[in-house]
Structure 1
Amino acid sequence: MDITTEILIDAPPARVWAVLADFATYGAWNPFMPQIFGTPQAGARLRVRIVPPGSGGMTFRPRLLTVTPERELRWRGHLLVPGLFDGEHRFRLEPTDGGQRTLFRHGESFSGLLLPVIFGARAQAATRAGFEAMNAALKRRAESAATA
């Protein structure tokens, strides 16, 4: 099961990355992921709070798999133990218009034995809405910072 969203941001990848990798400021702009604690480096363990629309939210502890500045940030998390309900979250930045704009792709692949029980149509819709809300907020933040 995969959910992928994207948005075009009128700022270069370096600016979008600066916002995305600054975990300490997420509470100021990110409605879907208002808290991330940890260091953006491969192998690091994070503490991430997500709040999908209509949900009380949850906190989990994924491990960063890939940190490629201005290109990709990716982590994998599990519910309790691997194989029950797993998610691999990804953010990809693609330069467009000679590097002046960024195509931001935000998605997650879900798997595990509990996937059909935990992740029905309603949860999928809330997750997609959360991704899109974060994308729009990232766009606003990166574009306002780029023009400031």
Structure 2
Amino acid sequence: MRHRISAAVDIEAPPDAVWARLTDLAGYADWNPFIPSASGELRPGERLSLRLQPPGGRALPIRPTVTEVVEGSAFEWLGHLGVPGLFDGRHRFELTPTAQGTRLVQSESFSGVLVRPLRGFLDGGTLAGFRAMNDALRQQVLDARA
């Protein structure tokens, strides 16, 4: 089974300002409510160390592999729960310039046998985590520009 969730936010700043904050993984501890701990290099093939903290859920450490980085506009990673095929998530951030600044879309495509039983959590806590992160990122970028 496959399932996709997505959350978008408009940020009144240029893409390079949003990109700089979004890709500063070490800085996540200062502002990110959904991924309060992150380390690693954003380079295809590299593994990241992340701790996800969905609202109302338990912290979950993951070690996804970076699959794509397009400087200034997108990056993506692929994570697995246990063995590949059980529960896989392809997480993506895309930045698009707008007349007012930048539109950030954070999305994840899930696949595997555990997607169906976890779908309620994905549509609840995980999606709420995406929205909380997007809002916090927007505020961080605006505060840095003030």
TM-score by structure 1 length? 0.94
Deviations 1:46-81 (A, max 9, x none): 011100001121001100011112100100000111
Query: 5+ residue gaps in structure 1?
Result: none
Deviations 1:111-131 (A, max 9, x none): 1011112x1314421111000
Identity over aligned pairs, percent: 44
> Residue 75 of structure 1 corresponds to which residue in structure 2?
77
Counterparts of 1:66 and 1:122, CA distance in 2: 26
> Residue 128 of structure 2 corresponds to which residue in structure 1?
129
Deviations 1:23-46 (A, max 9, x none): 001010000000111011111100
Amino acid at match of 1:5: A
Shift of 1:141: 0.5
2:78 partner SS: strand
Amino acid at match of 1:37: S
- 2:5, 2:122 within 8 Å by CA — same for their partners in 1? no
Say whether residues 1:101 and 2:101 are aligned partners: yes
1:40 partner SS: coil
Counterparts of 1:59 and 1:82, CA distance in 2: 16
- 2:63, 2:79 within 8 Å by CA — same for their partners in 1? yes
TM-score by structure 2 length? 0.95
Query: 5+ residue gaps in structure 2?
Result: none
- 2:7, 2:105 within 8 Å by CA — same for their partners in 1? yes
2:48 aligned to 46, 49, 63, which one? 46
Counterparts of 2:145 and 2:111, CA distance in 1: 37
Q: 1:105 to 1:123 in 2, by over 3 A?
A: closer
RMSD: 1.0
Counterparts of 1:75 and 1:42, CA distance in 2: 9
> Residue 145 of structure 1 corresponds to which residue in structure 2?
144
Counterparts of 1:16 and 1:42, CA distance in 2: 20
> Residue 112 of structure 1 corresponds to which residue in structure 2?
112
Shift of 1:146: 2.2
Amino acid at match of 1:89: H
Amino acid at match of 1:127: T
